[in-house]
Chains A and B, each alone.
Chain A
């Protein structure tokens, strides 16, 4: 068996004071709620307020997802998190040929304001916070959300939530894109400016390590690439003329929490310390909130096994525990059946109950950062941090993350790491219970969520009807205004908003941006 973390950091039999020579708690830790926030961003952490339990959900047409949202809220969930289907993520309408077979499959289909109104029907947007996992067309979905709020009579400054908007990690790992990296960054700048001006409670970007990790990176790579992405977004905001403290407090993060219990805790602690230093020392931020690394966490989808799927409940519980001990602000727990399909309602309920057991039964919430001062965890936090700084330095040398992505650097690093991991599994150096050890002959018959193929036709029908009913001349005029803004230097956000109010579709809006900026094509690297 390997005596090293998933990132390859060697682990000793036991740790003691010698592993922390030259380490001073005053500088390295501070108190919870104090710079550099290693121990958490709040003085009392979960005693003051529990993390937000936020289960990612969405499938079918808007009606189906709206029903699941109402169910989750009725079960004690405290925030919404929307999954969109693949065509929506790529900026295609449901009736586009490329959408064939994909509509409503991996998330909810949203083509226009008509769908968005149904999606949030009877959900008061001033009382919930909503996280939307949307990147390439994040500007369109943010505009749609603002437009729905307008119809509900809710002011912009009352809207709380997040659009993921992290295109760099799309090019690196998740790979749902529309236009190339540099124009993508320009559209993000427009969103940052719009957010700073109009949406004081909105997190415009959720800088995401999750997908980088799921694509096969190590914990250290996840940390380094994510913070390097964050640096690129801060630079973009500054280049757009914003004061760092005008937008940095609204940047949030999203990390994966995998099986390597201690390394994951070390990663989250190191992440806070590093970001605080980056913001204060590299960017000169003065508002302490700019120094905070606020994060959402999700258990590792990629760690779930198809074999003996009930075992996944235990994996998720351990990962969720690591996320909580690592000091996350919100959490999604995966469901046991997700290697087969989107989760059933029963499986989602077990996953949510897992969080509730941690919060209400285990008493791990009573004291902030309970591992603070542990020889092992502190030494590991230092080592994870050191390795991540080295990687960030390499990216700086390449000219920053945008240039590194264009050069394929993080993409290659991840492909190498995932192959290395898979080989370790195949050789039996890493045990995965039920997969390469403790294997049983089994017939797996767990119930899975079935999505009615009819959804696709109903959705296509709705969008086609919409095109006939709206005022086409207004739509054309507003799309043309957007085109001019995209070609020039006007902020595109208000134009996108004007388009969605006129029921221009997502595909039409993204089509304009593609015409102006071109489409991204990735060189296929094995």
Chain B
């Protein structure tokens, strides 16, 4: 790998549950990624703008309010509109199994259910995220 992966971790929507995302942020940082955390209560517009400005390779979304079906697909859609549809999007939170297929088909590449381990998340990022603009 030519350079460290740049990952934007973001909290779309209004819920303030940031325990999970902060723990994931530290784990990814410890695994050698450059982690940028947006903070709470972000709109899809704010997240997409941050991703473009920071030129990230992937975005990790966390939501625990049940608004995932509305907000996750909108973020993917906006990335495509901005011409950066190659940014990998993954997410987690309180997300019922039944909602996962819909999210995957909307272009979110992976949903981590509650109980996913840090090891699992780090490994998935290593295997599925590549530095953008660098030949694989």
> Is the CB of A176 closer than 8 A to any CB of chain B?
yes
Is the Cβ of A339 less than 8 Å from the Cβ of B19?
no
Is the Cβ of A340 less than 8 Å from the Cβ of B96?
yes
Which of B18, B26, B70, B113 has the most C-beta atoms of chain A within 10 angstroms of its own C-beta? B18
Q: Return chain A residues, CB-CB under 8 Å to B70.
A: 100-102, 453
Q: For chain A, what secondary structure do more than half of its interface residues adopt (helix, strand, loop), or is it mixed? A: loop
Which stretch of B79-87, B114-122, B126-134 is in the interface? Answer: B114-122
B18-41 toward A: CB 8 Å interface, digit per residue (1/0)?
Answer: 110011011101000001011111
Q: In the bound complex, how far is the Cα of B67 from the Cα of A98, in angstroms?
A: 11
Known contacts A102-B70, A106-B65; 8 further A-B pairs (Cβ under 8 A): A85-B65, A90-B14, A90-B41, A302-B19, A306-B113, A341-B96, A418-B23, A436-B117
A412-428 toward B: CB 8 Å interface, digit per residue (1/0)?
Answer: 00010011001001100
> Is the CB of B91 closer than 8 A to any CB of chain A?
no
Is the Cβ of A102 less than 8 Å from the Cβ of B97?
no
Is the Cβ of A102 less than 8 Å from the Cβ of B65?
yes
Top 9 nearest A-B pairs (CB, nearest first) are A101-B70, A175-B16, A524-B39, A105-B66, A101-B67, A86-B14, A306-B115, A339-B114, A306-B114
Is the Cβ of B13 less than 8 Å from the Cβ of A101?
yes
Is the Cβ of B43 less than 8 Å from the Cβ of A522?
no
Q: In the bound complex, how far is the Cα of B83 from the Cα of A223, in angstroms?
A: 50
A81-106 toward B: CB 8 Å interface, digit per residue (1/0)?
Answer: 00001110110100001111110011
Q: In the bound complex, how far is the Cα of B65 from the Cα of A92, in angstroms?
A: 15
CB < 8 Å neighbour of A176 from B16, B25, B67, B69: B16
- Quote the shortest CB–CB distance from A131 to chain B (angstroms): 20
> Is the CB of B106 closer than 8 A to any CB of chain A?
no
> Is the CB of A307 closer than 8 A to any CB of chain B?
yes
- Quote the shortest CB–CB distance from B64 to chain A (angstroms): 8
Q: Return chain B residues, CB-CB under 8 Å to A170.
A: 16
Q: Return chain B residues, CB-CB under 8 Å to A448.
A: 96-98
- Quote the shortest CB–CB distance from B101 to chain A (angstroms): 14
Q: Return chain B residues, CB-CB under 8 Å to A362.
A: none
Is the Cβ of B23 less than 8 Å from the Cβ of A419?
yes
CB < 8 Å neighbour of A102 from B67, B95, B114: B67
> Is the CB of A526 closer than 8 A to any CB of chain B?
yes
> Is the CB of A190 closer than 8 A to any CB of chain B?
no
A-B contact pairs, 9 of them (CB 8 A): A86-B67, A101-B13, A105-B65, A174-B16, A176-B16, A338-B94, A339-B113, A448-B96, A453-B69
> Is the CB of B15 closer than 8 A to any CB of chain A?
yes
Q: Name the residue of chain B whose CB is nearest to the CB of A526.
A: B25
Q: Return chain A residues, CB-CB under 8 Å to B67.
A: 86, 100-102, 105
Q: In the bound complex, how far is the Cα of B22 from the Cα of A118, in angstroms?
A: 39
Q: Name the residue of chain B whose CB is nearest to the CB of A339.
A: B114
Q: Return chain B residues, CB-CB under 8 Å to A98.
A: 14, 41, 43
- Quote the shortest CB–CB distance from A242 to chain B (angstroms): 30
CB < 8 Å neighbour of A522 from B19, B22, B40, B114: B40
Q: Return chain A residues, CB-CB under 8 Å to B78.
A: none
> Is the CB of A435 closer than 8 A to any CB of chain B?
yes
> Is the CB of A20 closer than 8 A to any CB of chain B?
no
Q: A524 and B37 in contact (CB under 8 A), knowing A100-B70, A341-B66? A: yes
Q: Name the residue of chain B whose CB is nearest to the CB of A418.
A: B19
Is the Cβ of A526 less than 8 Å from the Cβ of B22?
yes
Say which size band chain B's interface belongs to. Answer: 35 or more
Which of B70, B115, B119 has the most C-beta atoms of chain A within 10 angstroms of its own C-beta? B115
A206-220 toward B: CB 8 Å interface, digit per residue (1/0)?
Answer: 000000001110000
Q: Return chain A residues, CB-CB under 8 Å to B104.
A: none
Q: Return chain A residues, CB-CB under 8 Å to B43.
A: 97-98
Q: Name the residue of chain B whose CB is nearest to the CB of A426.
A: B118
Q: Return chain A residues, CB-CB under 8 Å to B113.
A: 306, 339
> Is the CB of A445 closer than 8 A to any CB of chain B?
yes
Is the Cβ of A444 less than 8 Å from the Cβ of B40?
no
Q: Return chain B residues, CB-CB under 8 Å to A445.
A: 97
Is the Cβ of B39 less than 8 Å from the Cβ of A176?
no
A237-256 toward B: CB 8 Å interface, digit per residue (1/0)?
Answer: 00000000000000000000
Q: Return chain A residues, CB-CB under 8 Å to B96.
A: 340-341, 448
> Is the CB of A41 closer than 8 A to any CB of chain B?
no
> Is the CB of A451 closer than 8 A to any CB of chain B?
yes
- Quote the shortest CB–CB distance from A326 to chain B (angstroms): 24
Q: Name the residue of chain B whose CB is nearest to the CB of A88.
A: B14
Q: In the bound complex, how far is the Cα of B54 from the Cα of A248, in angstroms?
A: 50
CB < 8 Å neighbour of B22 from A86, A305, A418, A453: A418
Q: In the bound complex, how far is the Cα of B67 from the Cα of A85, in angstroms?
A: 11
- Quote the shortest CB–CB distance from B17 to chain A (angstroms): 8
Is the Cβ of A106 less than 8 Å from the Cβ of B15?
yes
CB < 8 Å neighbour of B69 from A101, A106, A306, A338: A101
Is the Cβ of B14 less than 8 Å from the Cβ of A216?
no
Q: Return chain A residues, CB-CB under 8 Å to B17.
A: 175, 215
Q: In the bound complex, how far is the Cα of B11 from the Cα of A86, in angstroms?
A: 13
> Is the CB of A342 closer than 8 A to any CB of chain B?
yes
Is the Cβ of B29 less than 8 Å from the Cβ of A444?
no
Is the Cβ of A526 less than 8 Å from the Cβ of B29?
yes
Q: Return chain A residues, CB-CB under 8 Å to B117.
A: 425-426, 435-436
Q: Return chain B residues, CB-CB under 8 Å to A436.
A: 117
Q: Return chain B residues, CB-CB under 8 Å to A92.
A: 14
